[in-house]
Chain A
Amino acid sequence: MDAVEVRDLTRIYLTGKRRRSKEEVLALDSVGLGVETGEVHGLLGPNGAGKTTLVKILSTALLPTAGSASVMGHDVVDETEEVRKRIGIVFGGERGLYHRLTPRRILRYWAALYKLPDEIGITRSDELIERVGLSQWADRRVETFSRGMKQRLHLARGLIADPPVLFLDEPTTGMDPVSAHDFRDLVADLKAEGRTVLLTTHDMAEAEAVCDRITLIDQGTILGTKTPKTVAEWMGTLERVEAEDVPAELITRIRAVDGVTHIEADEGSVVVQTNHPQAVKDALKLLVDGGVTSLKTVRPSLEEVYLHVFGRDRGMSV
């Protein structure tokens, strides 16, 4: 049995204030998904893809319009209490915390909401504060915290009931690189503890780094489930090289490299598009050998991957 099972799940929102002029917005369209027990499963998609809607339905905060979903064998519509006992939710961003309270108070409050006995709630709050590295700030008001610190507190809150299943919705939003790296270690720890994690993100590198499998979603539709290796290949394949002060003769030589698909050149600045990791290496070698010192490689955006791999032009940045 999968820890999370989603079958033909559809969610339609009605937008607009007047009842008669409401419009239907399809957020999820017959979505199917299985997350194995103990797996870290990524849900990768751009903003508006339907990731958060799916997490809300799985966490019982939202009802599906059609289809069904279950967590640890319990239906999210008919057995909400059983589902709620088994899940932890971490929403990304600044929201979701009482700003005037301290981490210690907030965690104890959530321990009470999860019906933990007082002593356990107190002990677990203290343990989690230490685990997410907030011991030093345990009694300071959250309103003084950076986004990264708030995000770590979100994580601690999600773990307060020691749930076997965790939903992490864009958990690294606003985190600095160091905190994001620590977060990846934390996800590895959660997996080692046997927890099932469903992680939504629009960051391919993050998904590739922490997930066992990655499901790609866009405009409410599942595009497929891939291995992190495949995603890493996409990132490598579509990587581009950007450089400054490149002589015209060198640009001509780079243009001739096998795998270079397109070069944009403007007064010495060049952007080299490729379709193969080897082409990136060859172009970099030529630039370095040619004495160019201002250069960098840029990983493709999710939008670019979706365009090249699935032929989906979303017409917006992600």
Chain B
Amino acid sequence: MVGWRRQWDLVLNTPGYWTSILMNPLFAVVFLAIMSNAGRDDLLAFAVLAPPFMTMWAMSLLISGEAVVRDREFGVLEATLAAPTPYGSVTLGRIGLVTTISMIGFVESWLVALIFFDPIPIVHPLAFAAGVVASAFAMTGTALGMSALFVRSTQVRRFQNAMSYPFYVLGGVIVPIEFLPEWIQPLSKVIFLSWSTDLLRDSLAVGPVEGFWFRLAMVVFLGAAALAVGWWAVGKMEDRVRRTGEVAFT
């Protein structure tokens, strides 16, 4: 991941990237209020974890699409493709940085719970921390894969919007996967979010985190698979724009 500090300059100077971080506390208040008022303390873990996962997904997907689109709009893509650093590495660095920043969402959610509701204890902090880091890695890989799709689209923002809530539902971010029709549940299992959210919710619960290592490995495996596909796809995209000459099209 090349030029993290330089990527930071870009991210810092693009206010749009920060919107989800600003919205995260609001979602946390709404979700926690719904569960508290409904007396569903068993679902408080969903309420506190859903906003940061939504933030992470939204920010990572935003940057994965915006990075290419903005480079193209500014006319920077051509020169970047002709630089010694592979474009996949540039994109990966940018996505990785934004995903890392998006983890602020976890702190925000817990602070909202602490200030406006009851504190939510993290019963297994090491498992929780490992789950968050693995999720960020998987998110980075997934977003890199998405960026290769976005670069071929002229409707990136619509595409990004369409990729949000369906994945929150399929990934068990908002509601338990068990609430979904049985036929669709296997699909959830290939989305890293389902493993991540399950793992983190269990790390908040009293009692052992069953199958911790396997579930953590699944998050990392799915992330690595997406990363490999993304790396390959960005390379293909690079080949394609060099072949077709569509580097500068907007």
Binding site for B on A (CB under 8 A): 11, 13-14, 53, 56, 59-63, 81, 84-85, 87, 89, 91, 93-101, 105, 108-110, 112-115, 157, 161
- Contact between chains at A91 and B75 (CB < 8 Å): yes
Is the CB–CB distance between B76 and A84 below 8 Å? no
Candidates A62, A105, A157; contact of B6 at CB < 8 Å: A105
- Digit string of B75-93 for contact with A (CB within 8 Å is 1, else 0)? 1101111111100001000
List 12 additional contacts besides A94-B75, A109-B3; criterion CB under 8 Å: A13-B244, A14-B244, A60-B242, A61-B79, A61-B247, A62-B242, A84-B84, A91-B78, A96-B76, A98-B76, A113-B84, A113-B90
Q: How far is the CB of B108 from chain A (nearest CB, A)?
A: 25
Of B2, B9, B247, the contact of A101 (CB 8 Å cutoff): B9
- Considering only residues 50-93 of chain B, those with a C-beta below 8 Å from chain A are 74-76, 78-85, 90
B-side contacts of A53, CB under 8 Å: 245
- Given A95-B75, A98-B74, A115-B2: A61 in contact with B9 (beta carbons within 8 A): no
Q: Which chain B residues (1-41) contact chain A, with CB distance < 8 Å?
A: 2-3, 5-6, 9-10, 13-14
In the bound assembly, the distance between CA atoms of A197 and B76 in angstroms comes to: 21
Across-interface contacts of B13 in A (CB, < 8 A): 98, 100-101
Please determine whether B74 and A113 come into contact, CB atoms closer than 8 angstroms: no
Is B243 part of the binding interface, using a Cβ–Cβ cutoff of 8 Å? Answer: yes
B9 and A105 contact, CB distance less than 8 A: yes
Using A62-B247, A95-B74, A99-B74 as known contacts, say yes or no to A114 and B83 having CB atoms under 8 A apart.
yes
Closest to B89 in A: A113
Q: Which 10 A-B pairs have the closest CB atoms?
A: A95-B75, A112-B3, A109-B6, A100-B13, A113-B83, A59-B82, A96-B75, A84-B84, A61-B82, A105-B9
Nearest A residue (CB) for B2: A112
* B82: A residues at CB distance < 8 A: 59-61, 84, 87, 89
Contact A89 B79 (CB under 8 A): yes
* A157-B6 Cα distance, complex, nearest whole Å: 15
Question: What's the nearest-Cβ distance from chain A to residue B71, in Å?
Answer: 9
| Alpha-carbon gap, A112 to B85, bound state (A) | 9
Q: B84, A61: Cβ atoms under 8 Å?
A: no
Q: List 23 A-B contacts (CB under 8 A).
A: A11-B245, A61-B78, A62-B242, A84-B83, A84-B84, A85-B84, A87-B82, A89-B79, A91-B75, A95-B76, A98-B10, A99-B74, A100-B13, A105-B6, A105-B9, A109-B6, A109-B10, A112-B2, A112-B85, A113-B90, A114-B85, A115-B84, A161-B84
- B10 and A113 within 8 A (CB): no
Residues in B226-250 with C-beta less than 8 Å from chain A: 242-245, 247
User: How many Å from the CB of A60 to the closest CB on chain B?
Assistant: 5
Please state if A62 and B74 are interface contacts (CB–CB under 8 Å). Answer: no
Taken together as a complex, chains A and B put the C-alpha atoms of A61 and B81 apart, in Å, by: 6
Contacts of A59 in B (CB 8 A): 78, 82
The smallest C-beta distance from B151 to any residue of chain A, in angstroms, reads 15
Chain A residues with CB under 8 A of B83: 84, 110, 113-114
A-side contacts of B81, CB under 8 Å: 60-61
Tell me the smallest distance from the CB of B214 to a CB of chain A, in Å: 39
User: Which of B9, B10, B79 sits near A96, CB closer than 8 Å?
Assistant: B79
Question: Measured between alpha carbons, how far is A87 from B82 in the docked complex, in Å?
Answer: 9
Residues in chain A near residue B84, CB distance under 8 A: 81, 84-85, 113-115, 161
* Minimal beta-carbon separation of A150 from chain B (angstroms): 11
A56 engages B78 (CB within 8 Å): yes
Q: With A and B bound together, what is the CA distance between A85 and B84 in angstroms? A: 6
A101 to B76, CA, bound (A): 13
In the complex, are the beta carbons of A61 and B242 less than 8 A apart?
Answer: yes
